[in-house]
Amino acid sequence: MSKIVIVKLGGAAITNKKSICEFAPESELSALLDQVAIAYEILKGAGHQLILVHGAGSFGHPQAVKYNLKSGWSSIRDRTYSLKGYAHIRSCLQILSQRIVSELERRDVPALTMSPIDYTETINCEETPTGEFLAMAARATRYLSLGFVPVLHGDAVLDQIRGCTILSGDIIMYQLTRLLPEVRRCVFITDVCGIYKCDPKVNAENNELIQHIKVGNIVEEELTNQQNDKMTVADVTGGMQGKVKWAKRMVSHSQHSLDAVICRWGTDDALDIMTLKAKLAPNARMTIFTKDSNLLNR
Ligand code: ATP
Ligand code: IPE
């Protein structure tokens, strides 16, 4: 049976999140996208399909903070500044998305951008009902049926309550898993190997990678207790904690055997997990979210 894998290229992997509108170093971006192209070929060869979602990183978070775009403009009388900011962030996001799809196209991946702003209008950001994502899912399905790779991204979208808001790529993934039962794995590619007991960039020693989060398990609460104000870069969509929340939801709400994995760009483990490889390396370094106690097939 044909399965769909959704891969999220996190803003931390494709951009320099400490800067403004700066891509990740050329060699890193190249290594990541080479790997995505290989994953696409392997999945296609096995009769499976790939959807890509990318984050915004330095092309979205600092701009969203500066113009207060997550809470939107509904309560603001003079919207001149908000409108200017909204036009600005959309233009930054288009630059990022265009670079990603053109790099993929150069690697023979038939990638087609799908900007969420064109497919949905949210209703109070993350509270938006799944039905509002039907048009997005239908278009993604159509592209997949033709052999394309849909490329969605975290976006600044119109919101029926707030005026506008910031829709995270993680929520897009979650909503696609609700609407497309063929989705069996969601992979979050970022710049660290997974979830640690505490931020590995703040505390490199006495730290530990959490390899398995059984959904509903107490382990995830430990991270939730971590202070958000320790974030070293602007992230209006919740950073690693947001990812944990949505990964947990997608696994827990799935009627099928769906797993979610957080791993680091460029590693062999990342390629294995993106391509649904039957057996992972025994020492594979990543965080896997599953509903049952099995740590996949290790
Ligand atoms: P997203 O789209 O979900 O935001 P992203 O790839 O941009 O994806 P970040 O949100 O920046 O990723 O999250 C990754 C960062 O989270 C890492 O660079 C790391 O420094 C930080 N981080 C904070 N707490 C932890 C933790 N407990 N374990 C691992 N990383 C953590
Ligand atoms: C953020 O999307 C979208 C904007 C800030 C416009 P994500 O939450 O998916 O992006 P990253 O991965 O954290 O950069």
46 CA distance to ligand 2 middle (Å): 31
In a domain, 82, yes or no: yes
How many domains in the chain?
1
Helix/strand/coil (H/E/C) assignment for every residue in 1-18: CCCEEEEEECHHHHECCC
Q: Is 154 in the pocket of ligand 2 (CB under 6 A)?
A: yes
What pLDDT does 298 receive? 43
Q: Is 238 in the pocket of ligand 1 (CB under 6 A)?
A: no
What pLDDT does 262 receive? 97
Residue 256 among known ligand-binding residues: no
16 CA distance to ligand 1 middle (Å): 13
Burial class (CB in 10 A: 0-12, 13-18, 19+), 109: buried
What pLDDT does 97 receive? 98
Nearest to 270 by CA among 2, 32, 22, 45: 32
Residue nearest to atom 4 of ligand 2 (CA): 60
- At residue 162's C-alpha, the angle toward residues 16 and 125, to 5°, is 60
Q: Is 168 in the pocket of ligand 2 (CB under 6 A)?
A: yes
Mutate to test the pocket of ligand 2, among 6, 17, 22, 61 (most ligand atoms within 8 A of CB): 61
In a domain, 40, yes or no: yes
Burial class (CB in 10 A: 0-12, 13-18, 19+), 297: exposed
* The length of the chain, given as a count of residues: 298
In a domain, 45, yes or no: yes
In a domain, 281, yes or no: yes
Q: Is 170 in the pocket of ligand 1 (CB under 6 A)?
A: yes
What pLDDT does 205 receive? 84
Mutate to test the pocket of ligand 2, among 59, 63, 91, 168 (most ligand atoms within 8 A of CB): 168
Residue 199 among known ligand-binding residues: yes
In a domain, 297, yes or no: no
Mutate to test the pocket of ligand 1, among 190, 197, 224, 246 (most ligand atoms within 8 A of CB): 190
Residue 197 among known ligand-binding residues: yes
Residues 63-97: b if buried by 16+ CB within 10 A, e if exposed: bbeebebbbbbeeeeeeeebeebbeebbebbeebb
Tell me which residue range forms the domain holding 20.
4-290
In a domain, 264, yes or no: yes
CATH number for the domain including 235?
3.40.1160.10
Per-residue confidence in pLDDT tens, the chain, 298 aa: 899 999 999 999 999 999 999 999 999 999 999 999 999 999 999 999 999 999 999 999 999 999 999 999 999 999 999 999 999 999 999 999 999 999 999 999 999 999 999 999 999 999 999 999 999 999 999 999 999 999 999 999 999 999 999 999 999 999 999 999 999 999 999 999 999 998 998 888 888 999 999 996 444 444 544 544 455 567 887 788 889 999 999 999 998 889 999 999 999 999 999 999 988 888 889 999 998 766 564 4
Sign, CA dihedral 173-54-158-85, equals: positive
In a domain, 283, yes or no: yes
Nearest to 113 by CA among 95, 86, 89: 95
Q: Is 210 in the pocket of ligand 1 (CB under 6 A)?
A: no
Q: pTM surpassing 0.75? A: yes
Which ligand sits closest to the CA of 126? 2
- Asked if 179 and 159 touch (Cβ cutoff 8 Å), the reply is no
In a domain, 295, yes or no: no
